[in-house]
Structure formats: C-alpha cells, structure tokens
C-alpha cells in the first residue's frame, strides 16, 4: 500500500472505495451556513453599525444563497473561501482559531481539484486529518502548559464566569468553590487557582487525556466509529461550560467526516435547525451567552 493510500484511508472504511462527492457537497453547504450565521452573530454583537462586518455578513449570505444549488456550490465555496481569507487578513491577529479552521476547510473544498475520484477522496481525507490534528493539538497544548494538572485553568474560569461555575460546582467542595469565586480577576497576588478537590482535579486531567487519546483512536479503523461518537460527547461536555457554539458546531461536523458512513447528510436538517435556532435566539435577545 502506498503512502497516499494510507492517507486516503482516514475518513473512510478501508474495505470500501466509495465516492465522497455527496459528502463533500453536504459539508460544503454546512460550512456556507456556518459562515453566514456566525458572521451575522458578530454583526449583531456590535454596539454600533460597522460597514466592514456587515459587508462580510452580506457576502457570506450571498455565497450561501448561491450554494443552495448543487450546480453552483463549487463557485459559492470558492467565493466564501476568498471572503474568509479577507476576513483573516483584515482581523489578524484578533481572529478566532476556528476561523482559521473554517477558512482551511472552505479552501480544501473550493480549490482542491475534485474532478477525479482520487482527488475527491484526497480532499475528504484532508478534512479528516484537519480534525485529528486539531483534536490532538488541543490536548497536547494543555499538557505542555500544565494548567490542567491541578485544575488551575478550569478553576480560574469557574472563578470568573458563572457558566463554568455552574458546570463544575457539583465536583468542587463547597468551601473551595466559595474561595474560588472570591478571588476575582487574575491580578498579581490573586489565587491560587489550583483546586483542592480530587474529583475536580481528575476531571481536569481527563480533558487532555481524552483529547490526545481520541485523536489516536480516530486514526485506527477498528476504533474510529466509537471514537467519533466519543469525541462528539467530549465536545458536548466541554461546550456546557465554554459555550463556544460556533467552534462546537464546526468541529462536530468535521469530526463526522471521519465516520465511515455519511452521517453529516442524515443530520443536515438537525444541523441547519441548530444554526437557525441560534440565530433566532440571538435576534430575540436570548443568545448573548453564545459565541
């Protein structure tokens, strides 16, 4: 087996050599919808009108409208990838990590030659590799920084934000939780944020262990299906506190690329409904904690 064939095995069942064309079209539509809704969120968050941000939102909306037709989806993806590049260059360095990920995914679908089966399989595998690399690096980064060993990072977030506090309050001793909430802003002399609670510390360390372990499990055909669903569960758990809805939805859809079956297409109505629900909540004033 050649090196390229080993690469192509990621994101598909090695016993199958199906055409991922439909899967790529589905993911492309999700990325267009994601770009549109996320940028309108940004627009609605602004305290005053900003022409540049509004133009970005309008551009992504136009790309989505064009991309609703499978015949013009490649054109829409190319346009959206160009807009995403402009967005990254315009907002750098104040740009979210998942915006880079979205731009790379759009570029992979728009500018990689998809005229042959081999090219389509390569683009599909590349998207799967993106998900694995991001998952591994998020865990490795936590390990390298060491701020999860004693729960320091999560303790700080529980101290500063109610959303993390509500999630972790049940695993932190009451006296310790009261101490954390009383620390306030992380200024010199504040702290320590290290948590004296065995259950919380174990949970904190399990985060990076799960991220690194699942990244490797996603590489192996025998464990890939289970690892896909376990990773989705991990993302859901993390989002209970983080509430980074757009990162969560984007990464869930990229992780589903790794499933041997076309799960993304089956879940497309649910995915579209979640994006529209998020937008409606934002318009109604209930989406202030979503990002």
Residue-wise pLDDT for 92-140, tens only, equals 888 888 899 999 999 988 876 667 787 788 888 889 899 999 999 999 9
The pLDDT value recorded for residue 7 is 57
Taking residues 161-182, report their average pLDDT. 85
The pLDDT value recorded for residue 14 is 45
Does the pLDDT of residue 289 top 60, yes or no? no
This prediction has a pTM of 0.86
Query: What are the tens digits of pLDDT across the range 182-232?
Result: 887 777 777 788 888 889 999 999 999 999 999 999 988 889 999 999 999
Give the span between the Cα atoms of 58 and 41, in whole angstroms: 12
Helix, strand and coil content of the chain, in percent to the nearest 5, comes to: 75, 0, 25
Does the pLDDT of residue 153 top 50, yes or no? yes
Contact between residue 149 and residue 205 where contact means Cβ atoms under 8 Å apart: yes
């Amino acid at each position: 087996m050649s090196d390229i064939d080993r690469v192509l095995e990621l994101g598909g069942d090695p016993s199958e050599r199906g055409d991922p064309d439909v899967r790529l079209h589905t993911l492309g539509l999700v990325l267009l919808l994601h770009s549109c809704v996320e940028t309108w969120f940004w627009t609605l968050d602004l305290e005053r009108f900003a022409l540049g941000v509004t133009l970005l939102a309008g551009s992504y909306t136009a790309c989505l409208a064009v991309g609703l037709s499978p015949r013009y989806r490649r054109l829409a993806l190319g346009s959206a990838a160009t807009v995403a590049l402009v967005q990254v260059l315009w907002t750098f360095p104040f740009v979210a990590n998942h915006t880079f990920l979205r731009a790379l995914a759009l570029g992979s679908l728009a500018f990689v030659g998809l005229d042959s089966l081999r090219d389509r399989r390569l683009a599909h595998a590349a998207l799967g590799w993106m998900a694995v690399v991001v998952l591994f690096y998020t865990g490795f980064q936590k390990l390298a920084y060491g701020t999860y060993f004693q729960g320091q990072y999560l303790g700080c977030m529980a101290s500063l934000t109610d959303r993390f506090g509500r999630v972790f309050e049940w695993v932190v001793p009451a006296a310790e939780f009261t101490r954390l909430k009383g620390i306030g802003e992380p200024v010199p002399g504040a702290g320590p944020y290290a948590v004296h609670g065995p259950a919380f510390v174990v949970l904190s360390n399990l985060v990076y262990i799960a991220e690194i372990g699942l990244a490797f499990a996603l590489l192996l055909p025998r464990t890939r299906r289970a690892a896909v669903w376990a990773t989705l569960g991990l993302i859901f758990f993390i989002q209970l506190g983080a509430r980074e809805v757009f990162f969560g939805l984007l990464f869930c859809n990229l992780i589903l690329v790794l499933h041997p079956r076309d799960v993304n297409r089956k879940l497309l109505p649910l995915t579209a409904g979640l994006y529209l629900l998020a937008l409606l909540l934002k318009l109604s004033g209930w989406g202030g904690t979503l990002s």
